[in-house]
Amino acid sequence: MTLLVADDRELLSAAGYIDESLVDISARRPAARANKVAKPTGDVSVHVERRLAAILIADIAGYSRLVGADEQGTLQQWHAHWDELVSPAIQNHAGRVVRVTGDGILAEFASIVNAMRCALTIQHGMAERNGDIDPDRRIEFRIGLNFGDLIVDRGDMWGEGVNVAARLEALADPGGICVSERVCNDVRGKLDVAFDELGEQRLKNISHPIRVFRARLRAEESAVGSSVVVSARMPVGVAVPLVQSRRRILLYSGLAIAVTSCIAFGAGRVLPVRAPAPHAPAVTSSALAEPAPARQQAALLSLAVLPFINMSGDASQDYVADGITESLTSDLSRALPGSFILSRGTASSYKGRAADARQIGRELAVRYLLAGSILAEGKKMRVNAQLIETTGGNQAWSERFDAERVSILQTEDEVVTRLSRAIGLKVIEFEADRRAREDMAGTSAVDLVLRGTAALNRPSSQQSMIQARTLFNDALEIAPNNADALAGLGTTLVFEFVNGYYESGGEERLRKAGELLDRALTLAPHHVTAMKASAALARAQGRFEDALAIASGVLSENPGEPWAYKELGLANMYLGRLDEALDWFAKAERIGPRDPARWTWLDGRGQALILLGRDAEAVRSLIAASEANPRSVGTKALLAAAYALVGRTDAAHAALSDYLAARPDARASTFRQNAPVPLAATAREYREKREHLLEGLRKAGMPA
């Protein structure tokens, strides 16, 4: 016990909670003095009490800087905030002030909900009080909130519960709140507050990792990691599930299982296309006759998945539609980082109801609805889905496709992964276009990240990368620790290297990208965009085994991410495992047949086919890649080689001419020696088979 208390004192001293030289505001407050217990006199034994409590720790951000600039003014502000806001907030929420020393506050609450309410009251109140104050002079708190075991000794508090709260406070942004998982779970269904999961964090002097959540207090605040929404207007089960689904446990417990599932998802036969029945859609886009009632403002990327309809006429198949609905609700939170995806439990109240999309949007406070139906016939399944924008009731996107019913889990996986990726891309694109069309494009970090992501999602070109890079840079000027902007900027730099947009500066781009991605993953350890770019970065640096591991990690977060399958394909190709590479490229195509990044795996597939001597198939794949992204210069060289190898000389010369117009100094002997990967790092099997590609380039007319 003595060691524990000593460690606690050291930690709190380092955090600024024990500093006799600072002004102790609590010494001026009768309520605070009443909490102190007189030191024992004569009795060697001291009564030490243990109990569970909610612990709130607050600290003034940049206190030393504020005092250095204006000591008297800072103390006056601090005293005013304490007297008029902080102390009343703690008392009104049944809290006990344990310690107030200089720039720090330590308080305990018997109720987690009261502690969270107090923290929210303080931060919202400080935001209002700082409205007219120059940013350089504002007092802003970081707040950490934990629930745990603590030691009460002589009126003071120690213990790991306090230590964790102190570490959570250090992770919070100025004006922000970070909480432990227990706090997030206990306020669910009781308070209107959204949380972003920051993942498991290793906190100093804490023996085990702590899952950390950040309260999202401002509408413009960027979300990182998975979103969790806690609302007093919703049932307790509203939070987006954070655990992996049973499909993910079954299909992605290891790389070998993922490979097997890829092969099992082979191309299925297509049913004849029939128009959906008139009563199939669960929502309509017609206008309402009555005026719209007032509603809560919908979040920027907010969506509800309405219960999919079973069109087979067999009630025993309802579980298939329900399973797809539930999985889509979960997976869309990964496909749309920072989004608010309404829980299935809340959306299920619309099952069987033909309601207007705009009415549902008002009632649920969401901007988009996803509705759909399934029709199961024997070993086939027809899926119809539509995405509706609730403000005007307009259909933004629709998809109809057929799936082979190999097994219910595999069929569900195929449907969900394909839909979640397509919807995630479409919502970002639609929202960015809408804001530009309505002249709503603002200069907040969130808006800039949204527009940058939309540019990044388009078929890649030098111009699109410049646009995306500029937007992400602007976002970081406003919010330097925005994980989405860091990941986006890092991604553009990796793209610029692997796509060969610049003849020099490649190593510097990769170095800078690595720094940005590391920062993003420190802030959000499971950030899918940062993980995707990290896989591509590892590939660009010739670390192919690392690329495989990182891409597999992306799939564990979001199985509906074709980019990860493409990275697995490319890494395997450079390791000489060409048949495995083709399997992964096929999986990417299966999930994203109309994906903007489709050209990347078609390009990779074309190169792998050339290496295997399957030149006619390579021609077809590379033509499709070039059509998907006509600006891809590198595809032209591969296509020229494939044309030449099958004897289509004129077509080969035309394709090579397009390539040489952009790369006039290209030579077969130096073709792709350093980029997109260092040739020396590739496997011997790859380099041997690459001679067939070089033969094609020479036949097409590339100088030796």
- How many whole angstroms separate alpha carbon 560 and alpha carbon 553? 12
Note whether 203 and 269 are same-domain residues: no
Q: Are strands 141-153 and 49-60 parallel, antiparallel or unpaired?
A: antiparallel
Note whether 427 and 451 are same-domain residues: no
Domain count, the chain: 4
State whether the Cα torsion 488-494-498-503 is positive or negative.
Answer: positive
- How many whole angstroms separate alpha carbon 442 and alpha carbon 440? 6
Q: Is residue 332 a part of any domain in this protein?
A: yes
Least confidently predicted of 204-213, 285-294, 318-327 = 285-294
Note whether 279 and 407 are same-domain residues: yes
State whether the Cα torsion 261-266-267-272 is positive or negative.
Answer: negative
Q: Is residue 565 a part of any domain in this protein?
A: no
Does residue 684 register a pLDDT over 80?
Answer: yes
3-state percent helix, strand, coil for the chain, nearest multiple of 5: 55, 15, 30
Note whether 428 and 446 are same-domain residues: no
More confident residue, 387 or 201: 387
**What CATH code is carried by the domain that includes residue 502?**
1.25.40.10
Q: Is residue 398 a part of any domain in this protein?
A: yes
Q: Could you give the percent of the chain with pLDDT greater than 70?
A: 74
Report pLDDT for 228: 45
Least confidently predicted of 50-64, 410-424, 593-607 = 410-424
Over residues 620-638, the mean pLDDT reads 95
Helix 528-540 vs helix 483-498: crossing angle, to nearest 10 = 30
Q: Is residue 167 a part of any domain in this protein?
A: yes
Note whether 463 and 428 are same-domain residues: no
Does residue 287 register a pLDDT over 70?
Answer: no
Report pLDDT for 69: 80
- Which pLDDT band, with edges at 50, 70 and 90, does 437 fall under? low
Does residue 25 register a pLDDT over 80?
Answer: no
Note whether 278 and 390 are same-domain residues: yes
Note whether 50 and 126 are same-domain residues: yes
Q: Is residue 201 a part of any domain in this protein?
A: yes
Among 519, 541, 563, where does a domain finish? Answer: 541
Nearest Cα residue to 335 out of 429, 268, 263? 429
Report pLDDT for 346: 60
**What CATH code is carried by the domain that includes residue 411?**
3.40.50.10610
Note whether 290 and 390 are same-domain residues: yes
Average pLDDT over the chain reads 77
Does residue 280 register a pLDDT over 80?
Answer: no
Q: Is residue 477 a part of any domain in this protein?
A: yes
State whether the Cα torsion 180-181-187-188 is positive or negative.
Answer: positive
Q: Is residue 248 a part of any domain in this protein?
A: no
- Write the pLDDT tens digit of every residue in 545-593: 999 999 998 887 777 788 899 999 999 999 999 999 999 999 999 888 8
- Which pLDDT band, with edges at 50, 70 and 90, does 50 fall under? confident
Note whether 16 and 142 are same-domain residues: yes
Tokens of 636: 């032209």
Among 414, 432, 450, where does a domain finish? Answer: 432
Note whether 508 and 631 are same-domain residues: no
State whether the Cα torsion 663-664-668-669 is positive or negative.
Answer: negative
Highest mean pLDDT among 240-249, 522-531, 610-619: 610-619
Domain of 411 in residue numbering reads as: 265-432
Does residue 281 register a pLDDT over 50?
Answer: no
- How many whole angstroms separate alpha carbon 78 and alpha carbon 74? 6
Tokens of 332: 């869309």
**What CATH code is carried by the domain that includes residue 187?**
3.30.70.1230
Tokens of 543: 């670390």
Q: Could you give the percent of the chain with pLDDT greater than 90?
A: 33
Q: What angle do CA 145, 302, 594 make, to 5 degrees?
A: 125
Report pLDDT for 308: 86
Report pLDDT for 6: 35
Report pLDDT for 335: 64
More confident residue, 536 or 161: 536
Report pLDDT for 334: 63
0.75 cut: is pTM over it? no
- Write the pLDDT tens digit of every residue in 86-109: 989 998 888 888 887 667 889 999
Among 496, 523, 541, where does a domain finish? Answer: 541
Over residues 628-650, the mean pLDDT reads 95
Q: Is residue 252 a part of any domain in this protein?
A: no
Q: With contact defined as beta carbons under 8 Å apart, do 354 and 251 qualify?
A: no
Note whether 28 and 172 are same-domain residues: yes
Does residue 306 register a pLDDT over 80?
Answer: yes
Note whether 456 and 486 are same-domain residues: yes
Tokens of 461: 């070109």
Helix 562-574 vs helix 528-540: crossing angle, to nearest 10 = 20
